[in-house]
Chain A
Amino acid sequence: MVKQNPTIDESSSQSRLEQLERQAYQLRILNEAIRELTLLEDQEEILEKFLLIILGTVGTSRGFAVSMQNYGRTSIFESRGIAASEAQILRECGPQIYGVYFNHLDVLEEVLPKQVRLVTVNEPPQGQDKEVAWPADTRVLVQWTLSSDCYGFVGIGPKITSNDYDTHETDFLLSMTEVLMDCLKMAGSSREVRQLNEDLLQKNMQLNNALSHAQKAQSDLDRQVFHFKALSEMARELSGVFDKKKLLDGFLLMAQGAMSARCGFILLFDVQENRLIISRRGDKAKALDQLDQTRVKQLVLSFYPSPACFSLPDFKVQPLQTSHLAGQALDLPLDMGAVFSLDENYFGLMGFCSKITDEEFSTDEEELLTSLTRNFLLSLENVLSFEIIQKLNLDLGRRNYELSKTIEELRETRDRVNVLQKAGNRISSLIKNELTRLERVNAVDFILIFSLTLVLSLTYNLSSPGGTSPIPKTWTFTSAPEIEADWAALKHQNNAAVFVDARPNEFYSQERIADAVSLPLNLFDFVYLMRFANMDPEKELIVYGRNISRRYDEKVAHELSLRGHKNVRILAGGLNEWKKLNMPVEP
């Protein structure tokens, strides 16, 4: 790519040779420069090396190279043998340089690749260059444009030999500038590649990080899914259990599975019934049966400052570590556990140990245990509620039964009362009937009265000294013979007989047979003495006087016969028969 100068000095072959040698030298330099500069990647280093090579090759001690970007605002500046002030000025006037030499880059859409222009040769830059404070002794100024993003200037001072620069040298300079451009381009490319590589690496690393994060998140998610699964399964399983012991067993089994623990136990204190419900699994938990209950209870109670705390949400589930057990001298087989309470009546603790993987229990599992325990408490509450409902139901049933029994009894009693009432009514009606019957005049009364009268009267009559014989006396003696009325009339007419009136005096006074003598029984003795004592016992006596109630005649006749009268007769038919015969009567 080195351009060969076609002009050959025709003066001499010597000079031609020298020229050729110089060309060969320049070519060699170019070659070396390419070899060296392509190895470099840093622009500054490239510029520095390039400047050194040029200065050395063209034989000058002063020169500079500047590479600009970004409208001249950033530049890389290298200089040799230039005053520090000049270098400083040049270093800062990048935008002005851009404004003067490269403003066409704004307009052009595409820049032709690798443009190199010789601005000045063997004289200081002038004219349009006034705005730019180029170093005063700049003899050659080369403007180069690699791309719209990379452009600059290369300037060199006068030769040490004070000769002007010839075309070979300027050509060489231009070639070198092209080499510089190539190298810069390469460096830029390689830098870009490196940059890209670095970016790639970084991205790769980030990706790796992201991947590991994703994996972690995945595993977290998996675990959480597992935990949730365990929770939901437990909730489902335990929701169908209505017995405390079964609930404990079921929970323990599931919790052990979720914790992957070989051994586990739950102790639930039922204060109301004053008993301890134990559920245990695994070899290490076997010794729990001989546990000191009071000390375990103390341990659980030590977690609760006051009885009111039992139902506070913060105290419901509290993690239990082995360190808690140390103070209590309790030998509970647990690596991880929890103290839980539903209320002041139901509380307890649970523990798990011997993880299947022989690892320590993680905090995740502790959290899981807390969640599970909360779930368990909910189930336990359900069980208790169910128990209460069942108990109420049972009570209700029993009461129902009692009620129905009472109703049955009441019904029976009512029936009995009805029967009794009926009987009572019957009895009372009977009594009433009997009473009304009693109130009425009764034949029985008469019979009773008559019987009583009979008994009393007869008894009295018998026992009384002046008793009267109930039988008529006339029955006890033979009565006197009777005489017919007509016969008696004859005797009356003939005064052949004495007529004796036996009736009481009043009857005699009232009416009597004419000339009859009154001889009443009550005055018998007196009248007899007066009238009959001196009478002939053979004298015929005709006695009359009887009625329905009395037979005076018979009695008087009897008395007279007792006194010795032999001829005593009774007038048949008495006074009535006498009157029928129209016989005389008195008065």
Chain B
Amino acid sequence: MNKKKKQDKGIVLKVLTSPYLALILRLYIGGLFIFASMYKINYGAEFAETIASYQLVPYWSVNFLAITMPWLELICGIMLVVGFRARSATVLIAFMLVLFTIAVLINLLRDSPISCGCFSSSDEPISWMTVIRDITWLLMCVHIYYFDRMLHLENRFMAMLKRL
């Protein structure tokens, strides 16, 4: 019994730490961020409103953030998908997710009647589900950070260097 349990534990651990899982997660998060950035880039003004609705950044930086942040998401997403400096991208994405989570958390505590604005300006209002969702994504990023090592664009170049 014990042995079987141990075996099961091993298999679970193996699956949980599998690089394939990390790859899937990486592609998912990357794709997610690319998808999220698309609308925001095209509708900068609306996104600026969303940022403003959170009431966390000074008024003079709102527009600037609205212009740049979607691009940051896009670039990080692309880097994650293709596997170029994926860890750095993961760190940045995780950082953003932390920021978003904190922002949502603050506004939840404030009881602000705002929508998330994660994918478009007409999202449903923020809720604890939004926090849980963001934390799930954050955990995925942690997994990626620690276990991802497959299908990296830069790995080819690295392998070449290593062979030298």
A residues bordering B, Cβ < 8 Å?
428, 431-432, 434-435, 438-442, 445-446, 448-450, 452-454, 456-458, 460-461, 464, 466-472, 474-475, 504, 506-507, 509-510, 547-551
How would you classify the secondary structure of chain A's contact residues: helix, strand, loop or mixed? helix
Apart from A458-B67, A470-B67, A551-B59: 20 A-B pairs, beta carbons within 8 A? A434-B161, A435-B158, A445-B88, A445-B89, A449-B75, A449-B76, A449-B79, A449-B85, A452-B75, A453-B72, A456-B75, A457-B67, A457-B68, A457-B72, A461-B44, A468-B63, A470-B64, A507-B113, A547-B55, A550-B52
The total of Cβ contacts below 8 Å across the A-B interface reads 106
Sorting the interface of chain B by its residue count into under 10, 10 to 19, 20 to 34 or 35 or more gives 35 or more
Chain B contacts for A507, CB-based, 8 A: 113
Write the B83-101 contact mask toward A (1 if CB under 8 angstroms, else 0).
0010111011000000000
B54, B75, B87: the one within 8 Å of A439 (CB): B87
Q: Identify the closest chain A residue to B48 (Cβ).
A: A468
How far is B59's CA from A550's CA once the two chains are assembled, in angstroms? 5
B91 CB to nearest A CB, Å: 5
Q: List 24 A-B contacts (CB under 8 A).
A: A428-B164, A431-B161, A432-B162, A434-B161, A435-B161, A439-B158, A440-B87, A441-B87, A441-B91, A445-B88, A445-B89, A448-B85, A449-B79, A449-B88, A449-B89, A453-B71, A454-B68, A456-B71, A460-B71, A461-B67, A469-B63, A471-B60, A510-B113, A550-B62
Q: Identify the closest chain B residue to A456 (Cβ).
A: B71
Instruction: Please tell me if B16 contacts chain A, counting CB pairs below 8 Å.
Output: no
B residues bordering A, Cβ < 8 Å?
41-45, 48, 51-60, 62-64, 66-68, 70-72, 75-76, 79, 85, 87-89, 91-92, 113-114, 154, 158, 161-162, 164
A510-B113, A549-B57 as given contacts; A441 in contact with B162, CB under 8 Å: no
B161 CB to nearest A CB, Å: 6
How far is B62's CA from A550's CA once the two chains are assembled, in angstroms? 8
A466 and B44 contact, CB distance less than 8 A:
yes
A506 and B72 contact, CB distance less than 8 A:
no
How far is B71's CA from A440's CA once the two chains are assembled, in angstroms? 24
How far is B87's CA from A66's CA once the two chains are assembled, in angstroms? 172
A446 and B88 contact, CB distance less than 8 A:
yes
A472 and B45 contact, CB distance less than 8 A:
no
B59 and A506 contact, CB distance less than 8 A:
no
Q: Identify the closest chain B residue to A458 (Cβ).
A: B67
